Structure 1
Amino acid sequence: MEHDHIGRQGHGHQQGHGHHHDADAASDASMADILDLDAEVVGPYLDELTSWAASHTKAEPHTVLDIGAGTGTGTLALARRFANAELVVIDRSPTMLDRLRAAAAAHGIADRLRMAQADLDAAWPPVGTADLAWASASLHHVADPDRVLADIHAALNPGGLLVVVEMDGMPRFLPDGVYPGLEARCRKASAANGWNSWPDWTSHLERVGFTVAEKRVFELDIDPAPPAANRLAHSITSRMRERLAEQLSAEDRAALDRLLDPDDEEFLLRRGDLVVRGARTAWAAHRA
C-alpha cells in the first residue's frame, strides 16, 4: 500500500482525474493520511523487501527511481538500504509530493532527492537514467502498464533492476474468533469491485525485454499490532463500510457498524487485541 496515485486509473478509495480539483486534493490528503498510518504499522517489512532487492542488484545503485512514491515510505526504505544513492521520485499528486518532501527533510535525505510531478498515463517524465527502479502498489493503476514498463526499461541502465510490488488485498486486523469470516467477505467484495486488481506481471515484464530473476511473496503477521494499527483499521473499515454496503449482508453491515461505533464495546479505536496480517507479492527483473 505504499502508493497508488500516478495515473488516471484508481480503485475504489480514490478519485479520478474527472473530478473537481478540490475533490482530488481532498481525496489525495485522505489517502496520504492512510499511507502515513500504513508506514507506521507495516513499514518495517520494507527493510526485508529492500534487502531482497539489494540481493538482486548487480552493482551498488547510484540512482534509485521510485515510481508512484506516495508519501515516501518506500523512498525512505530505499534511502536506508542504498545510503549513497540519489533518489528520484515520480508521483502525479502534489499533495503526496509535499508530504514526501517533508518526510525527506525530517529524515535528513533532502539533499539526495529529486522530484517529478507527472501523470504516467500522459507521458514518461524526463528523469534521466537509473540503476534501480521501484514500483510499489502503483503499476496496476496506469492505463497502459506495458507502455510504462517499456519506459522504465528504457530508463534503466544496462544491468539495472526493476522491483514491482503489489499488495495481496486489504490487511486483516481482527483476531481469530472475532466476527469470523467478516474480513474475508469484505476482501472478496472489494475484489469483485475491482479494488487493487493486478495481473501476474511476469509475462508483462518479459514482453518488454526484462528478465525476471525472482517472484516472491512476503507475508505480514504482526501480533500484537502497534498502536497505530487501531487508527489504520478504523480508517480502512470506515471506507469498506461506506463503499461495500450494497455487497454485504445485513449481518456483516451490523458487525462493521459495531466496530465503528464509539459507544460500542467492539469499537476499533479502543481494542487491544488487533493483529496485522497480509501479504505482498514482489518481482525482481533485470534489464539486459
Structure 2
Amino acid sequence: MSHPHTHTHTHAHAHQHGQHDQHRHQHSAEDDAALAEVLDLDAEVLAEHLAAITDWLPLERAPQRIVDLGAGTGAGTFALLRRFPEARVTAVDASPGHLLRLREKARALGLDGRVTTVQADLDAADWPDLGTPDLVWASASVHHLADPGQALRRVRGLLAPDGLLALVELAGFPRFLPPDAPVERPGLEERCHAATDHLHAEHVPHRGADWGPVLTAAGLTVTGERTVAVDIAATEHPSVGRYALAALRRMRTAVAELLDPADLAALDRLLDADGPDSVALRPDLAVRTERQVWAARR
C-alpha cells in the first residue's frame, strides 16, 4: 500500500554521484529492506483505515481479477483478498525483495493460490501482460512515475469494460511527534518535513497532485472521491512506536545533510532504540496523516 516517501532522494543521490554498481546494489538492498519494514508496519497500524477504503469502493459487483500496481510488500493485496474472498490478485512491483516478502506472506496465510507476482518497471516502454482486471488498485505508487498520465492511459486500456481504478495517495509523510517535542528542539519534526518537501519538489514532482484532472485527461471518469483522516495514538495501537522509529530513521537518511547540527543530534537521540529518549518509548506519539482516494472508470 502506502509508501512513506523518503527513499527517492537517496536513490537519486547515489546515481548523481556516480558510485559504482556494487555500491549501488548494496545500497538498494539495504534501502529495500528498510522500506519493507516501514511498509509492513504501515499496513499493520493502518489496517482499519485500509479496510474502510476497500469497503467504500463504488463497485458494481465483486471483482474476480485484481491488479495491484506498486504492490510493495502487499498491504493492498491482502486487504483486497480479505475484502473479496473470490478474487485473485496480480501484484506488480519493481522490487524483487518486496515481491519475495509478499509471496512469503501469502504462503503463511494460505493465500498463495490467489496471488501472482510480477516484477515490472511501470515507467518502462512496455508493460507485461496483466490481463483484463475488474479492479486496478494503485496505492502510493503513481506519483513516483516519470509520466503518470501515460501509466493511467495504460490502466484505462487494461480495465474490463465495467472495471474500476482505485487510486490511493498519501497527503504527505505521517507526523508522529507533538509540536512541542522534543523538549530541547521543539518543532523538530516539522523542520524535517520542510527538508523532505524540498527534496520531493525536486525528485518527486507529482507527489500531492490533484489526480482528478489527470485521471480525466487519461480518458477515465471519476466516479468517487474520498479523504480518510488518520489519527492513531500510541496508546491505541502497540506498533505505533516501532512504526515511528522505522519511518523517522528513513526520513533521517534523506534529510541528514540538510538539518542544523543541533536538530540532527536531537533526531539521533530519538532514533536511538536503546536510549532513554527513544521515540518508540514516547507515550505521546500518534500517527497523523490523510489518505485521498479517487475511483474512476473507463
Q: What pairs up with 1:71-220 in 2 under 5 angstroms?
A: 71-122=73-124, 123-175=126-178, 177-179=180-182, 180-194=186-200, 197-220=207-230
Letter of the 1:73 partner, please give it. Answer: A
TM-score, length of structure 2 as denominator length? 0.86
**What is the deviation of 1:131?**
0.6
SS in 1 for 2:161: strand
Structure 1 unmatched ranges of 5 or more: none
Amino acid at match of 2:263: D
| Equivalent residues of 2:2, 2:170 under 8 A apart | no
1:251 deviates by: 4.2
Does 1:50 pair with 2:54? yes
Change (3 A) 1:17 1:60: farther
Report the alpha carbon displacement of residue 43 of structure 1 after superposing the two structures with TM.
2.4
Shift of 1:141: 1.2
The Cα of 1:213 is off from its aligned counterpart by 1.5
Q: Is structure 2 residue 259 aligned with structure 1 residue 248?
A: yes
- Bigger Cα displacement from structure 2, 132-141 vs 36-45: 36-45
Separation of aligned partners in 1, 2:99 and 2:238: 26
Quote the residue 1:276 is aligned against.
287
Q: CA deviation at 1:120?
A: 1.3
Counterpart in the other structure of 1:12: 9
- SS of 1:216's equivalent? strand
| Other structure's SS at 1:87 match | strand
How many angstroms apart in 2 are the aligned matches of 1:4 and 1:142?
A: 15
Tell me the SS of whatever aligns to 2:76: helix
Higher mean displacement: 152-161 or 175-184: 175-184
Distance 2:214 2:208 in 1: 11
Partner of 1:45: helix, strand, or coil? helix
User: Structure 2 CA distance, aligned partners of 1:58 and 1:40?
Assistant: 29
Question: Which residue type is aligned with residue 237 of structure 2?
Answer: P
Task: Give the match's secondary structure for 1:134.
Answer: strand
Structure 2 gaps of 5+ residues are 16-20
Q: Offset at 1:225? A: 4.5
Q: 1:192 to 1:113 in 2, by over 3 A?
A: same
**Contact between 2:34 and 2:246, CA under 8 Å: does it hold in 1?**
no
Query: 1:225, 1:274 within 8 Å by CA — same for their partners in 2?
Result: no
Give the aligned residue type for 2:9: G
Amino acid at match of 1:172: R
Q: Is the 8 A contact 1:4 1:70 kept in 2?
A: no
Go from structure 1 to structure 2 and tell me whether the alpha carbon gap of 1:242 and 1:127 turns closer, same or farther (over 3 Å shift).
closer
Taking structure 1 as reference, are residues 262 and 46 closer, same or farther at Cα in structure 2, changes over 3 Å only? closer
C-alpha deviation, 1:65, in angstroms: 0.8
Task: After TM superposition, give the deviation of residue 148 of structure 1 in Å.
Answer: 0.8
Would you say the 8 A contact 1:16–1:24 is kept in 2? no
TM-score normalised to the size of structure 1?
A: 0.89
Shift of the 102–57 alpha-carbon distance from structure 1 to 2, 3 Å rule, reads same
Q: Distance in 1 between matches of 2:13 and 2:220?
A: 30
Which residue in the other structure is 2:18 paired with? Answer: none
Identical-residue share of aligned pairs (%): 44
Call closer, same or farther: CA 1:201–1:250 in 2, change over 3 Å. same
| d(CA) in 1 for partners of 2:187, 2:239 | 23
**How far does residue 24 in structure 1 lie from its aligned partner after superposition?**
2.2
Moved more, 138-147 or 231-240: 231-240
Q: Which moved more, 1:89-98 or 1:35-44?
A: 35-44
1:138-178 per-residue CA deviation (whole Å, 9 max, x = no partner) reads 00111111111111101001121101111112211124543
Rounded to whole Å, the distance in 1 between the matches of 2:13 and 2:115 is 27
Q: Does 178-187 or 140-149 show the bigger shift?
A: 178-187
In structure 1, how many angstroms separate the alpha carbons of the residues matched to 2:88 and 2:13?
A: 31
Partners of 1:17 and 1:113 lie apart in 2 by: 33
